[in-house]
Amino acid sequence: MAEALLSLGELAAAGEHAAAAVDTPAHDRGRVHRLAILSTVELRQGNADKAVALAVQMAELARGMESQRLRDRLRAVREHLVRSGGAGTAEAAELIDGALRVPL
């Protein structure tokens, strides 16, 4: 739901749904996807510090996972972070790069 709302530009509603989804128990792979959406929402809302913290959590959790869909999601979050140029984005991008080094 959060992803659909994000694509419609409904950032406040997307943020509410994404935050609720992150707080809901899930397997690690699902949690990575949820953190990616919430990080993207936070970044689009101008909350770069929160977005970076979420991206770091996402990257650490994703390390060692093999999934093309996850790789695409990680790359998208990395791209958004780098474009924002906020504090801590370089470190978060580096962690994401580390998670992406797992060969498929």
Rounded distance between C-alpha atoms, residue 72 and residue 86, angstroms: 22
* Token pair of 53 as six digits: 């913290």
CA 91, 29, 37 angle in degrees (round to 5)?
Answer: 60
CATH, residue 82: 1.25.40
- Report, as an integer, the average pLDDT of 90-102: 89
Question: Into how many domains does the chain fold?
Answer: 1
- In tens, the pLDDT along 25-35 reads 999 999 999 99
Asked whether the CA dihedral 75, 70, 99, 23 is positive or negative, the reply is positive
Parent domain of 46: 2-100
- In tens, the pLDDT along 33-74 reads 999 999 999 999 999 999 999 999 999 999 888 889 999 999
Lookup result for tokens 């509410």: 16
* pLDDT value at 104 more than 60: no
- Report, as an integer, the average pLDDT of 14-28: 95
Residue 89 contacts residue 52 (beta carbons within 8 Å)? yes
